[in-house]
Chain A
Amino acid sequence: EAQVTQNPRYLITVTGKKLTVTCSQNMNHEYMSWYRQDPGLGLRQIYYSMNVEVTDKGDVPEGYKVSRKEKRNFPLILESPSPNQTSLYFCASSQATGEGHNSPLHFGNGTRLTVT
């Protein structure tokens, strides 16, 4: 089954304790992206990646890191989490733009992070 898998689904942590949220897709997609969803703000893009070893900042990259060492994986790293990073996070993937200009994003089921 084609899917984007995020782990964990729920995470509670304390300020300053490094954490990683994993994301994996099995559709051989070139493009992957991380979003955060907050009430009243909708979805905001954190980072995206056009292909292996290529990453770029989205609209709200501060406090986050990503890596794309393999095509299928795109982990989100919070080196020193703070309470304002409490949010619902989504990973997504799609075909690259060239032939996939209209290709839809496939989303994971989300990771709800609470930083105390």
Chain B
Amino acid sequence: GDSVTQMEGPVTLSEEAFLTINCTYTATGYPSLFWYVQYPGEGLQLLLKATKADDKGSNKGFEATYRKETTSFHLEKGSVQVSDSAVYFCALKYAGGYSTLTFGKGTMLLVSP
């Protein structure tokens, strides 16, 4: 079945450091890939997405590139802020008959001043 694997957290960084959160997937077809972010006490919200190989999703300084050859969708940001502290979920949506997302287990990011 389809699955998403993320690096375990927490990831602890100082403000302005470079961020990478690894995400790899297995899928039987050609899914779209997503990153969702969950701030403390809130539900998840879409951060960025990519719908096909070599697409780059970007939002709020975050980027991720859909790499079909390595089945990866790593999240990056050049300079993190304290306000980026949150849990980040990688997910795929397979082009099946319904809109079910398969999530990774989430990676907590803690950014200190």
Task: Answer yes or no: are A and B bound together in one complex.
Answer: yes
Q: Are A105 and B49 in contact (CB under 8 A)?
A: no
Nearest CB of A to B3, in Å: 11
Q: Are B98 and A107 in contact (CB under 8 A)?
A: no
Is B27 positioned at the interface, with any CB of A under 8 Å from its CB? no
| With known contacts A100-B99, A102-B51, A102-B93, A109–B106 Cβ distance under 8 A | no
Q: Are A101 and B95 in contact (CB under 8 A)?
A: yes
Question: Which bracket fits the contact residues of B?
Answer: 20 to 34
Q: Are B43 and A109 in contact (CB under 8 A)?
A: yes
Residue of B nearest to A94 (CB): B99
Name A80-109 residues within 8 Å CB distance of B.
90, 92, 94-97, 100-109
Question: Residues 55-71 of chain A: 1 if any B CB is under 8 Å from the residue's CB, otherwise 0?
Answer: 01010000000000000
Name B85-113 residues within 8 Å CB distance of A.
89, 93, 95-101, 103-106
| With known contacts A50-B98, A97-B97, A104-B49, A43–B103 Cβ distance under 8 A | yes
| With known contacts A90-B44, A107-B45, A101–B106 Cβ distance under 8 A | no
Chain B binding surface, main DSSP class:
loop
Question: Which bracket fits the contact residues of A?
Answer: 20 to 34
A104 to B32, CA, bound (A): 11
Is A4 positioned at the interface, with any CB of B under 8 Å from its CB? yes
Q: Are B105 and A109 in contact (CB under 8 A)?
A: no
| With known contacts A42-B104, A42-B105, A102-B49, A110–B99 Cβ distance under 8 A | no
Name B59-102 residues within 8 Å CB distance of A.
89, 93, 95-101
Most chain B Cβ neighbours within 10 Å, of A50, A58, A94, A104? A104
Could you list which residues of chain B lie within 8 angstroms of chain A, going by C-beta atoms?
Answer: 32, 34, 36, 41-46, 49, 51, 89, 93, 95-101, 103-106
